[in-house]
C-alpha cells in the first residue's frame, strides 16, 4: 500500500509502504527524521489530523508516535504536541556525509564589476516600493507587456534623455533581466537576421564570449588604445555584422572612445546597415571630466543602448534596459516574451518611483562622491607605498588599472594578495585573446564595504611592494 497525502493544518508528505499500516508509518517517520527531511524541533501534525489525511485509525497514529517517542526520535509534551527530538539517534552509516570544507574565502575583495553593496539605499528604496505598490493598478500583478512596465519605460526615457543624451520613446525601451539577458536576446535576433560575427574589444568581459558562442556568433577582436576601440574604416572593412563597444569608459582599460572614432562608428553603422551595441555600464560615474554622452544619439537607428542598475544600485535587482532602433523592437519583444515573458513587476515599479521621485539622482550624487574619495585614497596609497605603479582609467567608473613596472609578474602579485586574503584580478583575466599588454591589475575600488576599504588597499600595496 503506497499513499501520499497532505495533512490538514500542518503539511507532511509521507509514503506508507507494506501491508502493516503502523509499521509502515513508523518506518516513514524514522526515515524522514534520519535523512534530515524533518529537522530537529519540527512540529508534527496531531494524531487526529494525520489519521484523517492518511485514512487510517487515530489509535494507529498515536501508537506509532508513542513508539518513536520511546525510541528517542520524537518528543511529546502536554499542550505542545509532538515534535522531532533535538538529539535524534545517530544517523545510519548510509546517510550522506557532510561535504568537505571548501577553502577559506578571501576576506577582502577589490574585484571590479560591483558597487559597494552596503551603500544600497535601503530606506529610500523601501519607501519607494511602498509608494509604488500602493499606486500600482491591479493588472500590474498579472502577466505584463514583455517590454516592461510602462511606468519604468517612461521614467527611463526621460532620465536617459536628461543624463545621457539618449534619444528614445518609451515604446523603444525593453526592460530585461540585466545586461546578460539583453546581450543574449540581441544575439538571438542578430543570428535570426543572418549575422555571423560580432566585433568585441580585445580586453573585455570574458563571459560575453560564452553568450556569443551559445548563439553561434563568432567574435572579431578590436584592438584598444588610449582613444578606445580601434575601428576599421567605415564600410565593409569592419570585419563584423555588429559591434559591442563600451564608448563612455572602456572596460577594463578605461579610455573613452574619442570623438573621431565615435563619429566613425556611427558612419559605419549607418552606411553598412550594421548594428552597434553600446554597453553604458557605469555612465553615471565620472570625476575629472565632463560627462560623455551616449553614442546612441549619433545614430539612434543603428545603435542599441544598453544600461543596468547593477553598478548604480545593486546587481541583485537584475534590472537592465535596451533602447532599441524602431526596426528591431518587434523582434526583441518577441524574443523577450519567449525567454521569460517579462521581468518582475515589483522591482520595475519601485525603480520607476525611485527615479521619478528624485531618489535615484540623490543616490547617484551621494555614491559618486564616496567613490571619488575612494579613488583618491587608492591613488595616494599607491603613490606612497608603490610609486613605481602607474594608475590609469581613473577619470570615471568604479575601477582603475594599476600598471606594474617592467619585470614584475602579474600572476605573482595576484597570488601574494590572495595569501593575504585579498582578491584582486590581473589584466590577463580580461584578455579575450593573447595577453599582449604590460602586466597590470584591475582594481575595483567600489567593491569593499566602507569599513573594509582601507585594509583592502593596504594589503594591495603590500602585495605590490613585496615584489
Q: Is the CB of residue 451 less than 8 Å from the CB of residue 119? A: no
Task: Examine the fold and report which residue of 40, 60, 94 is the final residue of a domain before the chain moves on.
Answer: 94
Q: Is the CB of residue 147 less than 8 Å from the CB of residue 332? A: no
Distance (Å, rounded) from C-alpha 31 to C-alpha 303? 60
> Residue 46 contacts by C-beta under 8 Å, 6 or more apart in sequence?
9, 81, 82
pTM (predicted TM-score): 0.84
Residue 35 pLDDT: 87
**Judgement on whether residues 2 and 40 belong to the same structural domain of the protein:** yes
The DSSP H or E segment spanning 308 is strand 303-308
**Judgement on whether residues 42 and 174 belong to the same structural domain of the protein:** no
**Judgement on whether residues 228 and 316 belong to the same structural domain of the protein:** yes
**Judgement on whether residues 80 and 127 belong to the same structural domain of the protein:** no
**Judgement on whether residues 241 and 312 belong to the same structural domain of the protein:** yes
Q: Is the CB of residue 343 less than 8 Å from the CB of residue 174? A: no
**Judgement on whether residues 294 and 353 belong to the same structural domain of the protein:** yes
**103 part of a folded domain:** no
Residue 20 pLDDT: 86
**Residue for grid cell 502493516:** 20
**Judgement on whether residues 144 and 245 belong to the same structural domain of the protein:** yes
Q: How many helices (H) and strands (E) does the chain have?
A: 13, 17
**Judgement on whether residues 375 and 357 belong to the same structural domain of the protein:** no
**Judgement on whether residues 352 and 384 belong to the same structural domain of the protein:** no
Distance (Å, rounded) from C-alpha 138 to C-alpha 145? 14
Residue 374 pLDDT: 97
pLDDT (tens, 9 = 90+) of the chain, 467 residues, equals: 444 444 446 778 888 887 788 988 999 999 899 888 899 989 999 888 888 888 899 999 999 998 998 888 999 888 778 999 987 554 543 444 444 444 556 689 999 999 999 999 999 999 999 999 999 999 999 999 999 999 999 999 999 999 999 999 999 999 999 999 999 999 999 999 999 999 999 999 999 999 999 999 999 999 999 999 998 744 446 779 999 999 999 999 999 999 999 999 999 999 989 999 999 999 999 998 777 899 999 999 999 999 999 999 999 999 999 999 999 999 999 999 999 999 999 999 999 999 999 999 999 999 999 999 999 999 999 999 999 999 999 999 999 999 999 999 999 999 999 999 999 999 999 999 999 999 999 999 999 999 999 999 999 999 999 86
**28 part of a folded domain:** yes
CA angle at residue 119 from 117 to 125, to 5 degrees?
100
**Judgement on whether residues 47 and 19 belong to the same structural domain of the protein:** yes
**100 part of a folded domain:** no
Residue 93 pLDDT: 39
Q: In the numeric block, which cell numbers belong to residue 172?
A: 523603444
Task: Examine the fold and report which residue of 361, 393, 423 is the final residue of a domain before the chain moves on.
Answer: 361
Number of domains within the chain: 3
Residue 227 belongs to domain spanning: 119-361
**Judgement on whether residues 192 and 331 belong to the same structural domain of the protein:** yes
The DSSP H or E segment spanning 84 is strand 81-84
> Residue 351 contacts by C-beta under 8 Å, 6 or more apart in sequence?
128, 152, 155, 309, 313, 317, 319, 360
**Residue for grid cell 499500516:** 21
Pick the closest to residue 248 from 275, 231, 229 (CA basis).
229
- Say how many C-beta atoms besides its own lie within 10 A of residue 20's C-beta: 12
Distance (Å, rounded) from C-alpha 297 to C-alpha 266? 9
DSSP state of 148: -
- For residue 14, the domain's CATH number is 1.10.10.10
- For residue 202, the domain's CATH number is 3.40.640.10
Pick the closest to residue 272 from 314, 234, 223, 315 (CA basis).
234
Q: Is the CB of residue 147 less than 8 Å from the CB of residue 171? A: yes
- Residue 284 has phi, psi (to 5 degrees) of -75, -15
**Judgement on whether residues 135 and 206 belong to the same structural domain of the protein:** yes
Amino acid at each position: 500500500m503506497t499513499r501520499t497525502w497532505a495533512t490538514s493544518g500542518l503539511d507532511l508528505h509521507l509514503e506508507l509502504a507494506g501491508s502493516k499500516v503502523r509499521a509502515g508509518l513508523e518506518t516513514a517517520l524514522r526515515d524522514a527524521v534520519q535523512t534530515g527531511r524533518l529537522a530537529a524541533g519540527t512540529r508534527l501534525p496531531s494524531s487526529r489530523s494525520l489519521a484523517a489525511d492518511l485514512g487510517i485509525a487515530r489509535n494507529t497514529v498515536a501508537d506509532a508516535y508513542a513508539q518513536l517517542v520511546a525510541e528517542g526520535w520524537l518528543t511529546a509534551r502536554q499542550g505542545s504536541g509532538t515534535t522531532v527530538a533535538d538529539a535524534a539517534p545517530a544517523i545510519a552509516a548510509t546517510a550522506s556525509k557532510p561535504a568537505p570544507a571548501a577553502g577559506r574565502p578571501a576576506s577582502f575583495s577589490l574585484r571590479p564589476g560591483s558597487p559597494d553593496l552596503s551603500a544600497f539605499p535601503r530606506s529610500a528604496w523601501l519607501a519607494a516600493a511602498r509608494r509604488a505598490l500602493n499606486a500600482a493598478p491591479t493588472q500590474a500583478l498579472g502577466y505584463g507587456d514583455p517590454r516592461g512596465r510602462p511606468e519604468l519605460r517612461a521614467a527611463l526615457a526621460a532620465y536617459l534623455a536628461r543624463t545621457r543624451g539618449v534619444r528614445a520613446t518609451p515604446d523603444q525601451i525593453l526592460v530585461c533581466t540585466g545586461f546578460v539577458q539583453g546581450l543574449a536576446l540581441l544575439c538571438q535576433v542578430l543570428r535570426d537576421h543572418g549575422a555571423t560575427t560580432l566585433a568585441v574589444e580585445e580586453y573585455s568581459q570574458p563571459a560575453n564570449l560564452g553568450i556569443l558562442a551559445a548563439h553561434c556568433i563568432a567574435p572579431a577582436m578590436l584592438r584598444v588604445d588610449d582613444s578606445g576601440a580601434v575601428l576599421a574604416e567605415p564600410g565593409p572593412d569592419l570585419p563584423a555584422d555588429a559591434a559591442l563597444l563600451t564608448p563612455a569608459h572602456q572596460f577594463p582599460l578605461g579610455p573613452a572612445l574619442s570623438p573621431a572614432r565615435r563619429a566613425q562608428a556611427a558612419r559605419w553603422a549607418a552606411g553598412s546597415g550594421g548594428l552597434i551595441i553600446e554597453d553604458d555600464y557605469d555612465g553615471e560615474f565620472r570625476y575629472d571630466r565632463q560627462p560623455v554622452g551616449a553614442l546612441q544619439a549619433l545614430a539612434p537607428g543603428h545603435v542599441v543602448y544598453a544600461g543596468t542598475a547593477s553598478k548604480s544600485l545593486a546587481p541583485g535587482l537584475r534590472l537592465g534596459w535596451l533602447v532599441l532602433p524602431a526596426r528591431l523592437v518587434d523582434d526583441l519583444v518577441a524574443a523577450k516574451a519567449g525567454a521569460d515573458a517579462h521581468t518582475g513587476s515589483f522591482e520595475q515599479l519601485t525603480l520607476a518611483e525611485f527615479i521619478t521621485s528624485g531618489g535615484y539622482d540623490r543616490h547617484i550624487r551621494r555614491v559618486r562622491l564616496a567613490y571619488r574619495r575612494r579613488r583618491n585614497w587608492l591613488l595616494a596609497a599607491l603613490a606612497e607605498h608603490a610609486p613605481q605603479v602607474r594608475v590609469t582609467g581613473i577619470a570615471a567608473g568604479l575601477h582603475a588599472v594599476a600598471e606594474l613596472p617592467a619585470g614584475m609578474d602579474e600572476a605573482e602579485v595576484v597570488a601574494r594578495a590572495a595569501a593575504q586574503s585579498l582578491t584582486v584580478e590581473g589584466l590577463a583575466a580580461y584578455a579575450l585573446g593573447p595577453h599582449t599588454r604590460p602586466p597590470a591589475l584591475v582594481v575595483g575600488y567600489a567593491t569593499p564595504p566602507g569599513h573594509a576599504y582601507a585594509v583592502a588597499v593596504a594589503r594591495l600595496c603590500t602585495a605590490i611592494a613585496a615584489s
